[in-house]
Amino acid sequence: MDVISENRCFGGVQGVYSHASDVTGCKMTFGAFLPAEAADGPVPVIWYLSGLTCTHANAMEKAGAQGWAAEQGVALIFPDTSPRGPGVADDEAYDLGQGAGFYVNATEAPWASHFRMWDYVADELPALVGRELAIDLERQAITGHSMGGHGALTLAMAHPGRFASVSAFAPIANPVASDWGRKQLGAYLGADEAAWGRHDASVQMLERGFDGPVLIDQGGSDQFLDLLRPEALSQAMAARRQEGVFRMQKGYDHSYFFVSSFMEDHVNFHAEALWA
């Protein structure tokens, strides 16, 4: 693991690191905030998965999470959203290819050789930070924005017992029924739609739910509401009688102004579960 930068931040350290990934077959970069308590031993961690077009840096620099994490004594990990590099497949569209990994393991050409973000976020990166940083992998929570909210919810539901809590900001909630999903799942996973359901938060909420508390915030003036389909997830949570809260936030859009406005709530929500 190579150190790109480390900066003092709210009494802790905000670092950016890179490493050669066996899973994606290229160099990957991620951000990690460690609070002051990490100097004395491993601390709980909140994973933050970012959305379309983002790198590790967007949430790290714009979400305003570090101050709240420092207050709660928890770490933050900001993975990238896809493999990158000159040898990695890409597309001219912003919503496919580099910057748009959708947190799945691609099975179709030309994506399959590098686009394995499910295994990267679920297995390889946790193992790395557990070895190299003062992170307690027995106490994990996960959140994300947009495409990252989709990833956070599906990963959490697929790994019972791993995450104490899950939250999302404006998640792509029903990708099997949305142009933000059908295009990408078809490209990465192929035409057999039976393989898509495990990567749909609304489908998974109905089928299995989550074994802990859920918090969803959605902007009421989000310009992408029809693509996100939040009503599908809200209805699935109600039908499942899922422990959780779904909040429509009047007047808020899809931007990091929205995310940063409710970040304190999400960090505190996860900290309560992590320290329980």
What amino acid positions are annotated as catalytic residues? 146, 222, 254
Close Cβ partners of 117 (under 8 Å, ≥ 6 residues apart): 24, 81, 82, 83, 101, 102, 103, 104, 105, 151
Cα–Cα distance measured from residue 150 to residue 168, given in angstroms and rounded to the nearest whole number: 8
Distance CA 70, CA 196 (A): 38
- Token pair for 42: 């491993």
Residue (of 47, 40, 37) closest to 71 by Cα position:
37
Q: CA-to-CA distance for 150 and 144, rounded, in angstroms?
A: 7
In this structure, how many other beta carbons lie within 10 angstroms of the beta carbon of residue 87?
A: 10
Closest CA to 29 of 65, 64, 73, 81: 81
Question: What whole-number distance in Å separates Cα of residue 28 and Cα of residue 91?
Answer: 19
User: Closest Cα partner for 47 from 143, 128, 122?
Assistant: 143
Q: In angstroms, rounded to a whole number, what is the distance separating the alpha carbons of residues 70 and 98?
A: 32
CA of residue 107 relative to chain centroid, distance: 21
Nearest to 74, CA basis, from 170, 164, 169: 164
Q: State the CB neighbour count (10 A cutoff) for residue 193.
A: 12
Per-residue tokens: 215? 């918090």
